[in-house]
C-alpha cells in the first residue's frame, strides 16, 4: 500500500516546507514527481534537491495557482508532458494575520483563490481520471485551524474549514472507488509559512517538523481515514472545541492570536504576477 512505483505524484506548493517533504515522501516510495509552485528560484532548488536524493523523474512547473486560470494551465502543462497523475496533493498555501479590515484586500482574495478555488478546481481536473482508472490518491491540506473559527486569521481558518468539509464529503462519496482521499491537518510546523504570516503562537513546546507531518499523512492513507491531525496533543486540542460553544472558543482564540502578540514582522504582500509567462508556463524535467 506504501509502494508508489510506476505512479506519478503532483504536489503543489512543493518548493518548500510540507509540500517538499510530501514530494520527498512519495519519491522515497518510488513515485515520479511533478512539483508545482510559484515560478522562482526556490522551485528549481527544490527540484534539484529531490533529484539528488531520489532516483525518480522530477518535473517542475512554475505556476501561480491563486490566478483563476492557474489550475487549468497546470493541467494543460501536465497533458503536454503526457503525464498521468496518480497522486494529487493540493498543498500550496499561505496565511495572513491581523485584524480583517486592515489586511490587504487583494491578498485576502488571493488567499481564497489559492486555498479554496484552486483546491476545488485541481480536484475536478484530476479526480475523474483516478476514478476511471479505479486507483489514485488525493490529499488536500487543511489544518487544525479548520476545526474552528480563527479570529485574526478569519479568511485562513474559513478556507481550511472549506478544505476539511469538501475533502471529507469526497472521501464518503468515493470510499468504494479505489481512490484514497485524505484531508491532512497539521498544527504549527516549522516551515516558511510563518514568514508570510508574521506571527507565531507560543506552542509551549517544539513545533512539528514537515517529516512528522508526512509520516502522519501516510499513516492516515494506510488507515483509510477521512482526515488526519498531526500530533497527539493537537488531536485533543482540535477536537475539544466540538464540546464548547463556538462563540466561547472564538473569544478565547481571539485573545491568543491578538495582533499585539505578534512575534515578527510579516513579509509584505507579494506583487501580482501579471505576465502570462511568469504566471505559469515554465517547465523542466530530469
Which residue numbers are catalytic?
156
Find the binding residues for ligand NAP in span 180-219 (CB under 6 A).
186, 188-189, 191-193
State the distance between the two ends of the chain, measured CA to CA, in whole angstroms: 26
Q: Kindly tell me which of 99 and 203 has the beta carbon lying closer to ligand NAP.
A: 203
Binding characters for ligand NAP, 78-107, by CB under 6 A (x = yes)? -------------xxxxx------------
Which residue in this structure is represented by grid cell 485562513?
Answer: 156
Q: Which of 33, 56, 65, 149 binds ligand NAP (CB under 6 A)?
A: 65
- CA-to-CA separations, 235 to 101, 154, 158, 230, in angstroms, rounded: 32, 21, 19, 7
Q: Is 68 in the site for ligand NAP (CB under 6 A)?
A: no
Q: Which is nearer to ligand NAP, 56 or 279 (CB)?
A: 279
Q: Is 242 exposed, middle or buried (0-12, 13-18, 19+ CB in 10 A)?
A: exposed
Interface with ligand NAP in residues 108-137 (CB under 6 A): 114
- Of the candidate spans 10-18, 77-85, 100-108, 123-131, the one that interacts with ligand NAP by CB under 6 A turns out to be 10-18
Residue 265 has, within 13 A of its CA and on its CB side, a CA count of 3
Interacting residues with ligand NAP between 17 and 56 (CB under 6 A): 17-19, 37-38, 40, 42
CB of 41 to ligand NAP, least distance (A): 9
Contacts of 184 (CB under 8 A, 6+ apart): 139, 140, 141, 142, 213, 216, 217, 220, 227, 228, 230
Q: Pairing between strand 32-37 and 87-90?
A: unpaired
- Does the protein bind ligand NAP through residue 13 (CB under 6 A)? yes
Four-point Cα dihedral 60, 51, 14, 216, nearest 10: 150
Q: Considering the complex, what minimum distance in angstroms separates the CB of residue 64 from ligand NAP?
A: 5
Output 147 or 171, the one with its CB closest to ligand NAP: 147
* Number of residues this chain uses to bind ligand NAP (CB under 6 A): 28
What are the CA-CA distances from residue 239 to residues 107, 147, 216, 217, 230 (Å)? 30, 7, 17, 18, 13
φ/ψ (deg, to 5) at 162: -60, -50
Toward ligand NAP, which CB reaches closer, 178 or 268? 268
Residues found near ligand NAP in the complex (CB under 6 A): 13, 15-19, 37-38, 40, 42, 63-66, 91-95, 114, 141, 143, 186, 188-189, 191-193
Amino acid at each position: 500500500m506504501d509502494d508508489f512505483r510506476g505512479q506519478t505524484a503532483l504536489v503543489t506548493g512543493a518548493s518548500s516546507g510540507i509540500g517538499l517533504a510530501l514530494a520527498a515522501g512519495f519519491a522515497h516510495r518510488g513515485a515520479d514527481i511533478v512539483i508545482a509552485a510559484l515560478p522562482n528560484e526556490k522551485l528549481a532548488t527544490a527540484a534539484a534537491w529531490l533529484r539528488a536524493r531520489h532516483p525518480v523523474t522530477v518535473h517542475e512547473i512554475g505556476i501561480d495557482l491563486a490566478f483563476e486560470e492557474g489550475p487549468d494551465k497546470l493541467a494543460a502543462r501536465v497533458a503536454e508532458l503526457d503525464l498521468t497523475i496518480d497522486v494529487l496533493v493540493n498543498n500550496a498555501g499561505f496565511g495572513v494575520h491581523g485584524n480583517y479590515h486592515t489586511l490587504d484586500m487583494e491578498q485576502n482574495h488571493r488567499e481564497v483563490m489559492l486555498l479554496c478555488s484552486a483546491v476545488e478546481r485541481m480536484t475536478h481536473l484530476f479526480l475523474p481520471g483516478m476514478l476511471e482508472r479505479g486507483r489514485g490518491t488525493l490529499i488536500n491540506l487543511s489544518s487544525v485551524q479548520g476545526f474552528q473559527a480563527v479570529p485574526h486569521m478569519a479568511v485562513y481558518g474559513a478556507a481550511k474549514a472549506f478544505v476539511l468539509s469538501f475533502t471529507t464529503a469526497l472521501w464518503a462519496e468515493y470510499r468504494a472507488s479505489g481512490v484514497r482521499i485524505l484531508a491532512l491537518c497539521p498544527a504549527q510546523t516549522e516551515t516558511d509559512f510563518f514568514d508570510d504570516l508574521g506571527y507565531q503562537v507560543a506552542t509551549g513546546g517544539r513545533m512539528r517538523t514537515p517529516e512528522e507531518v508526512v509520516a502522519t499523512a501516510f499513516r492516515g492513507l494506510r488507515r483509510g481515514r477521512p482526515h488526519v491531525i498531526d500530533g497527539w496533543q493537537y488531536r485533543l486540542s482540535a477536537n475539544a472545541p466540538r464540546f464548547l460553544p463556538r462563540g466561547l472558543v472564538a473569544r478565547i482564540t481571539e485573545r491568543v492570536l491578538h495582533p499585539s502578540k505578534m512575534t515578527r514582522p510579516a513579509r509584505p504582500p507579494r506583487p501580482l504576477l501579471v505576465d502570462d509567462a511568469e504566471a505559469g508556463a515554465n517547465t523542466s524535467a530530469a
